[in-house]
Structure 1
Amino acid sequence: LEKERGQVNFNVEELTNIYDGGAEETKLRRKVADVIQNDPEVRCKDIGMMTREERYIDGVRRCVYLYKVLLPREGWTPVSKEVKDYFKYRNIGKERSFGVHAGVFIPCLLSFGSDEQIAKWLPLAMQFQIIGTYAQTEMGHGTFLRGLQTTATYDKKNKEFVINCPEISAMKWWPGDLGKSANHALLMAQLVIDGKKYGMHPFMVQIRDLTTHMPLPGITVGDIGNKVGFETTDNGFLHLNQVRIPRENLLCKNAEVKPNGTYLTKASDKMVYGSMVRLRAIILESEAVSALGKACTIAVRYSLVRCQGELEPGKPEVSVMEYMTQQKKLLPYVAMTYVTHFACLKLSNQYNAFTREMDNNDISGLPELHALSAGMKAVVSEQCSDGIEILRKSCGGHGYSNASGIPIIWSSAVACCTYEGENTVMLLQCARYLVKCINQVQTTRMVGSVAYLNNMTQSTCHVDSVSGFKQLDVLVACFQYRAREVLKTAALKLSHLTKHGMASYNAWNQSSVELVNVVKAHITQFIVTTFASGITELECTKPVKNVLQQLCALYALSCINASTGDFLKVGYLSPRQCDLAHEAELELLSCIRPNAVGLVDAFDFSDDLLQSCLGAYDGNVYERLFAWAKKSPLNKTEVTIYQQYIQIRLIGRRKAF
């Protein structure tokens, strides 16, 4: 790896600073890393051999220390309204508990609570005197919020809400920190007054005794059991049977119920969706893109160390990275990490700007932000989780072992495809906004992420060389044209079906496959356009700018070559141009190959965070693998079950003979 680092032709530290958002951000992130990695009470352990129960208990121990000792000692806050601030604390690592308490419960309290309610509950939550969860998803309903069955019925006589799960499917299911840790739930329920439903509202519900931690009357709560990943998180179930809470426990920043049962709206009911947008912005970077970056780091470093076969007959074995097939597996995902990181950053900045507007009761930007966050969440989480699996397989047999670190990374990242909204539902939510935009484009000028719809003229690509397909403006034009045309086609199908008598909901269902593809095209153009424009505006040295341009072009070309049919179908590219795009991608693989280790080093993931024998900075793969294997619990004794089972059965069989 040191030899590889010697041929990198750009300043790795400069690229790290750009990735982080500036040298000061890198400095702060590394300060956090140093504090955590030098404190044995909170430093990540080697988790590959630990049971789920051991990981949960150790996660609770670490995080109690983290939030009650380390963060106050360093003057750091566990929560912030600015999404980007969460990126500074990535060095805490995946092995932690109370992620929902700090990352969802407290921010939602700030979003939904009145000043008086925040003053009452926030200090308790910040000091961990109460531990909360966000209980929205039910066993029978997740993304379809209007279908939630848990009710909060107002009792005028006693000035209380009665919270009830009328069916087993209404039981809250999946909330993190709920199973064994939380004693309060910020619970979403259908508000009912005098038999009339007023929609989903947030309620503060105490679920466990603050002294004994036993469930309160009417509360059935527990852990849902083992999952694919997130072993340190006690995802739980919660059933409420006629549980009474004070009227004041309706979080009433946006709506209030007066003592006499009068319902008072203070703001648009759409304000509740702001918190969901925020969650998607956080999740994309922290759970999907960051995970892809870790997997890229491991796979690239290992591919530079691992030797396999003779590339030239009679010559020594070469690293597997020398094979073009391996470069094709790995390098597009390195590029994807960079381009999606900056697209997610733009989404976060857009959310932060919206919150400032929301403080002034301006929610005009919510429809676009909601659609963009839904589409980004679906497309990016799918791309990243699929990519991590390809990167795992690129490591051969060792990639199957937890020693590689990638299976643990994948098991967490793949959850992004379902939580905070199942991906197909998210895609179709975004599609509704896009169809509305395309239907209005003749009379209304589009702005923001859909501004490219303003250019509705028919065109074709005129590039006739491989080098032409490496130009970012050419690639941006390709993606914008493709996105616009597939949207027009889907909208025309919808219109045709409804004009010929089909009910609108049936027409939507009949068009849903095309609409899913529409959103994927729209989000991919957003990612490419965002990164390309960012590079243009970026002030940096020429070598760094060159490598970023190559990464943008590689990501774009890999997407074109994976969806050639779309570009041919809309008539923008010819078969000959598709061949040129393919050749351009192969040339870029060769150009980026010498910088591969520098590109993953720039992510600046410590060995502690990677938890990988294959991807450690020093490249000592085989020494680390053997040391890791010797830690297996089965190796604590030389003889385990042989005498208890195998030998006895063999002796018994001899006697029978």
Structure 2
Amino acid sequence: MFSTVKDDMSIESTLISKERKNAKFPVEELTNVWDGGKEETELRRKIVKLFEDDPVLKSPPICTMTREERFTKATRKSAYIYRNLIPNNGLHPGSREFEHFSRAMPIENNLLVHMIAFIPCIKSFGSQEQVAKWLPLALNLNIIGAYAQTELGHGSFLRGIETEATFDKKTQEFVINCPKVSSMKWWPGDMGLNANHALVMANLIIDGKEYGMHAFIVQIRDLSTHMPLPGVTVGDIGSKMGFEAIDNGFLYMKNVRIPRENLLNKNSEVKPDGTYVKKASDRLMYGSMVNLRVNLPKSQAIDVLAKACTIAIRYSAVRRQGLLNPGGAEVAVLDYTLQQHKLIPQLATVYATKFAGEGIIKKHQAFLQNMAKGNISDLAEIHALSASFKASVSEQCTEGVEVCRRACGGHGYSQASGLPFLLCKITPSCTYEGENTVLYLQTARYLVKCASKQAADLPESIAFLVQPIQDMKGSITSLDNLIICFKNSAALCVQGVSKKVNEMSNKGLAMHEVWNKSSVQLVKSAKMYVMQYIIGAFVSFVTEVKCSEPIKEILQDLCCLYGLHYINTHSGEFLKLGVLSAHHCTLAEETEIQLLEKLRPNAVGIVDAFDFTDSSMESCLGAYDGNVYERLFDMAKLSPLNKEKVHQESYRHLRPFLLEGRDILEGVKSKN
């Protein structure tokens, strides 16, 4: 239907090859640093190649498929991966290979909630007997489970969950009910069409007394026919902004009976006579739930922004537009300082949040080891840090992807660029696993409590909040002074809002009023607290990492740029707190622009170091070879609307008017 247009060696390919030659550091070494070592890079590439070479996992480009096609293909791929590819190649959870699983997975997949929520919750909340029963079934996909917590009328406020599980002593069953429309489970992934079981979080009721939220395994579909069971109304909630290959569902339950044994009873149990036995602190349940929040930022936010940066920077390096010198040739968009100011700070964000996130994962692993021994003394700290980190990273990365999309001009709006897909994928991360405002407030509550204590009574990472403000010696642009600047700002924010809370409380205001009236300042304090953590963690990584001097310099520049860009974007806050002067802010802005110019020749090399394959990005703008325009034209030819030279259905509606126009024009011709 279309003629083939292809250049032997496009100008764009030549331009991006030149960019790579101009890089002033060894790209492969930076890839190794990103992965955590040369061996990890080799292992990741091996796993990625295993997935990409498998013919079962091939499918058409996303933008050429309907939602139903995307969902069906995602289910087919996911079932194959979890039942065949993973076990046959030793990619078991906990193995080194499994650490690279998210990078290897197809762009669209599902059954993820089954794997990362349903199964871990069985392990966390179930007794040994229950784990022995349910875990093999879930791992083998003999049952497909959803994690059903969020309700149509309740999300982050867990104590407000309305679904009820009432114990019936006569039958030794729990009766599950959604008393109102707002009580139905809404949003859980894998639940609408694929799941036949759900881990339902419901309010336990015994003899009319409420015992709070507990986890129950509820069968929702027949294992032979997959039809919904009596009392169960279940289905897909419809199209969303992203995740179109996932069956986010609704679940309405009326008098659904389950055996007493289906209450996951590692931490609490209901005896046959209705006696409620608490075996461990309720905080253990929340400690287990922190796991997903700790690991989510990397795969669902940081890697997404890394892909967006790769696309936007490669495209900006080959897209020529406008003149910098009158009478000269058109220049690459990336040569403009304003384009650098849009994109290179996003690169810095990727690196900062990546290495700061690894620090939190290590903290969480240590916490889990202590929790296994019954020690949950660090729970409040890890919860506060992981909550604010998830909120901050999801916000920064979502904003960053949108910056990258706009920076690509008109082509950034095309699905063929891959950027709209990435934006739709990352945006929900600001809401799921805790709505960001709620998470910030939870962190702020912890910080205010800490502000009333002595430094000796606080974790080392928190003690700075109640210690004297440090003086900066030298330039604001040094990494040490950036740490001091952010720590001082966080301390002053927390101390300021704590003072306000105490003053209002002393005046007799109810505490719920105090928190509501202080909420804006509380969120600001939580944001500044997590920013000081990210800056400090990134500086520590840059200082300690073993690498060559060129790589060290790149990382130092990105670290400094990250801190300065945040200061320049929020200079009013730093000035108001008295942490920085107008002179400091002027110097910060000038230094940021100098860093942009310094990093510009290395920009393509830095995104190359992420080592994304073309198939993992599915972007015409971000492919390694730089052949932007050929790829865009090839993708356009794949549009379903272009299958025939004449689209018959649309032509049928327009034909009468077009024929009328033909007659008018032919009449004009005949008169002439």
- TM-score, normalised to structure 1, is 0.96
1:12 aligns with 2:27: yes
Q: Which moved more, 1:137-146 or 1:258-267?
A: 258-267
> Is it true that 1:645 corresponds to 2:660 in the alignment?
no
SS at match of 2:216: strand
What is the CA distance between 1:182 and its match in structure 2?
Answer: 0.3
Rounded to whole Å, the distance in 2 between the matches of 1:285 and 1:275 is 19
Deviations 1:124-164 (A, max 9, x none): 11111100110000000010000000011111111111111
Q: How does 1:190-589 map to 2 (within 5 A)?
A: 190-441=203-454, 444-457=456-469, 460-463=471-474, 468-589=475-596
Equivalent in the alignment of 1:31: 46
User: Within 2, Cα distance between the matches of 1:493 and 1:455?
Assistant: 19
Q: Distance in 2 between matches of 1:521 and 1:612?
A: 35
Q: Distance in 1 between matches of 2:578 and 2:318?
A: 44
- CA distance in 2 between counterparts of 1:643 and 1:94 reads 35
Q: For 2:625, what is the secondary structure of its paired residue?
A: coil
- Residues 134-173 of structure 1 correspond to what in structure 2 (within 5 A)? 134-173=147-186
Distance 1:423 1:201 in 2: 24
What 5-or-longer segments of structure 2 have no aligned partner? 1-15, 668-672
Give the drift of 1:351. 1.4
Distance 2:454 2:340 in 1: 42
1:194 CA drift (Å): 1.0
Q: What is the aligned partner in structure 2 of residue 102 from structure 1?
A: 115
Tell me if structure 2 keeps the 8 A contact 1:299–1:391.
yes
CA distance in 2, matches of 1:240, 1:448: 48
Structure 2 partner of 1:620 = 627
Alignment map for 1:599-618 (pairs within 5 Å)? 599-618=606-625
SS in 1 for 2:146: strand
- The 3-state SS of whatever aligns with 2:56 is coil
2-side partners of 1:498 and 1:42: how far apart?
A: 60
Letter paired with 1:436: K
The question of whether the paired residues in 2 share the 8 Å contact of 1:25 and 1:88 is answered with no
Q: Is the 8 A contact 1:176 1:235 kept in 2?
A: yes
Aligned residue in 2 for 1:66 = 81
SS at match of 2:298: helix
Q: Give the secondary structure class of the aligned counterpart of 1:470.
A: coil
Code of the residue aligned with 1:519 in structure 2: it is A
Paired amino acid for 2:655: Q
Alignment check: 8 A CA contact 1:44 1:608 kept: no
AA matched with 2:525? V
Q: Matches of 1:21 and 1:191 in 2, distance apart?
A: 45
The count of corresponding residues between Structure 1 and Structure 2 is 649
Contact 1:37 1:44 in 2 (8 A): no
Q: Which residue of 2 aligns with 1:54?
A: 69
What residue identity is the alignment partner of 2:246? T
* Aligned position for 1:595: 602
Partner Cα distance (1:162, 1:642) in 2 = 53
Identical aligned residues as a percent: 53
1:381 Cα deviation after fit: 0.3
DSSP-derived class of the 1:192 partner: strand
Instruction: State the 1:470 CA deviation.
Output: 2.9
> C-alpha separation between the residues in 2 aligned to 1:497 and 1:44?
60
- Amino acid of the structure 2 residue aligned with 1:169: S
How far does residue 20 in structure 1 lie from its aligned partner after superposition? 1.3
CA contact (8 A) 1:12 1:601 kept: yes
Asked whether the 8 Å contact 1:29–1:89 carries over to 2, the reply is no
Letter of the 2:654 counterpart: I
Per-residue CA distance 1:587-606 (angstroms, 9 max, x = gap): 11111111101111111111
- Which letter does structure 1 place at the counterpart of 2:204? L
Q: Which SS does the other structure have where 1:501 is aligned? A: coil
What amino acid does structure 2 have at the position aligned with 1:207?
I
Q: Distance in 2 between matches of 1:169 and 1:338?
A: 41
Corresponding letter in the other structure for 1:545 = K
| CA–CA separation in structure 2 for the residues paired with 1:596 and 1:499 | 54
| Letter in structure 2 aligned against 1:312 | N
Look up the equivalent residue of 1:7 and give its one-letter code.
N
Q: 1:642 to 1:374 in 2, by over 3 A?
A: closer
Distance 1:316 1:651, change over 3 A: closer
Amino acid of the residue matched to residue 312 of structure 2? A
Indicate if the aligned counterparts of 1:428 and 1:516 stay in contact, CA closer than 8 A: yes
> Equivalents in 2 of 1:206, 1:412: separation in Å?
30
State how far apart, in whole Å, the 2-side matches of 1:44 and 1:5 are. Answer: 31
8 Å CA contact retained: 1:299, 1:615: yes
AA aligned to 2:282 is D
For residue 94 of structure 1, report the CA deviation from its aligned partner. Answer: 3.0
Is the CA contact 2:222–2:229 (under 8 Å) kept in the aligned structure 1? Answer: yes
| Shift of residue 473, structure 1, vs aligned partner | 0.3
Alpha-carbon displacement from aligned partner over 1:17-62 (angstroms, at most 9, x marks no partner): 1111222221221111111111111246411111111100000011
Please give the per-residue CA displacement for 1:60-99, whole angstroms capped at 9, x wherever unaligned.
Answer: 011111111111221112x4499x9544432213310101
- Tell me, in whole angstroms, the C-alpha distance in 1 between the residues paired with 2:274 and 2:95: 33
Separation in structure 2 between the aligned mates of residue 448 and residue 531 of structure 1, nearest angstrom: 18
Secondary structure of the residue that 2:325 maps to in structure 1? coil
Give the C-alpha shift of residue 439 in structure 1: 1.2
Residue of structure 2 in register with 1:128 after alignment: 141
After TM superposition, give the deviation of residue 576 of structure 1 in Å.
1.1
- SS at 2:64's partner residue? coil
Q: 1:602 to 1:655 in 2, by over 3 A?
A: closer
Is contact 1:190-1:201 (8 Å) kept? Answer: yes
Rounded to whole Å, the distance in 1 between the matches of 2:326 and 2:394 is 42
| Matched position secondary structure for 1:612 | coil
| 8 A Cα contact 2:196 2:226, kept in partner | yes
After the TM superposition, which of the residue ranges 212-221 and 39-48 deviates more from structure 2?
39-48
Aligned AA (2:358): L
Say if 1:441 and 1:561 are closer, same or farther in 2 by CA, change over 3 A: farther
Alignment partners' CA distance in 1, 2:31 and 2:356: 17
